[in-house]
Amino acid sequence: MCGAGPTRFEIMGMRLNRTQGLQPKQVSGIAVSIKKCRKCGLIFADPQPIPASLDDHYGTAEGYWNSEYFAEDPSYFVNEIAEAKRLLAPRPCVRALDVGAGIGKAMKAMSAAGFDTYGIEPSEAFRAKAISHTGIPGDRISLATVEQAEFAQSSFDFISFGAVLEHLYSPSLALERALGWLQPGGIIQLEVPSSRHLVARCINLFYRLRGTNFVTNTSPMHNPFHLYEFGLRSFEDHGRRAGYEVAQHAYLVCAISHFPKFLHQALDWYMQRTQTGMQLAVYLRRTDGILMRTTAPESRSIGPFEP
């Protein structure tokens, strides 16, 4: 993301292929090392575990589909739509693309807001559920990875990655490819796990005090299959090379876990003040003179689904 060389990383510790609990040394499993970029704060697994197929991760509903997942929420994606409208120059119609459409909730919200909306969803099970659950026409949702999808250059005003970029093996290449589909001045919206998360740092400290070298960052081999945690500088540095700027960002506290409930209010206040919440929401604006990745290099895979 930032262009740092291989010597600019530090090893944080090890991550198991399952929930580690409070005593990871007593849990059996396979572990990979977790590294952090000293320049931009990007956290990632090395080596990256690559599944044989998409279905190994997302082919079943287990761990994803429950009654809450399908609950109707009138406020879903409303703030993101409002921010996109604020950042975009006035235009008669916003043409939007949702990368990783899931069951179509963001597509449905954008369509309701008057956007001309399309989507990409690499999981056949999720795409089918999006069509049946939201009523979005099937020709509006491409069954493809970012690498496989084909759109004309400068087709969209707004592209949403939602909670997607942390699942992709080459987030920088995915962003470069999406920039080729974006109009000059267009906006890319994404929400990713933050490498500044206070709770994760507290858990890592707890592990150290117990004499282990485990960390809680990422989950490359189990649900929710997060491969990266991002620092804001990851996007600032990559943007200077790829041709975009950070137009807006915010750190979101989200859910607080592993702490007693009576501490949640104080932790929420502290994380808001120190920008150490769980999620980083970023809006990127395409600038002129960009390096547009309209086709993916054959030697590297963008999607998390090809071996």
Per DSSP, 35 falls in state E
- Which range, of 87-96, 121-130, 172-181, 292-301, averages the lowest pLDDT? 292-301
Q: pLDDT-derived band of residue 295, with 50, 70 and 90 as boundaries?
A: very low
pLDDT tens-digit map of 182-241: 999 999 999 999 999 999 999 999 999 999 999 999 999 988 899 999 999 999 999 999
Tokens of 199: 């709770």
Residue 131 lies in a domain: yes
What pLDDT was estimated at residue 37? 96
Residue 35 lies in a domain: no
**Contacts for 148 with CB less than 8 Å, ≥ 6 apart:** 122, 303
Per DSSP, 141 falls in state E
What pLDDT was estimated at residue 67? 62
What percent of the chain clears pLDDT 70, i.e. is strictly above it?
88
Give the CA distances from residue 281 to residues 117, 165, 188, 252, in Å, rounded to whole numbers and listed in that order.
21, 12, 11, 7
pLDDT at 35 over 80: yes
pLDDT tens-digit map of 103-158: 999 999 999 999 999 999 998 888 998 998 888 899 999 999 998 999 999 999 99
Domain, as residue range, for 80? 52-193+232-286
* Model confidence pTM above 0.85: yes
Amino acid of residue 295:
T
Rounded to a whole number of angstroms, the CA Rg of the chain reads: 19
Instruction: Check: CB of residue 110 under 8 Å from CB of residue 81.
Output: yes
Residue 94 lies in a domain: yes
Residue 71 lies in a domain: yes
Tokens of 47: 């080596």
Residue 209 lies in a domain: no
Number of domains in the chain: 1
Instruction: Check: CB of residue 174 under 8 Å from CB of residue 168.
Output: yes
Q: What CATH number did the domain enclosing 77 receive?
A: 3.40.50.150
What pLDDT was estimated at residue 95? 97
- Which range, of 4-8, 167-171, 280-284, averages the lowest pLDDT? 4-8
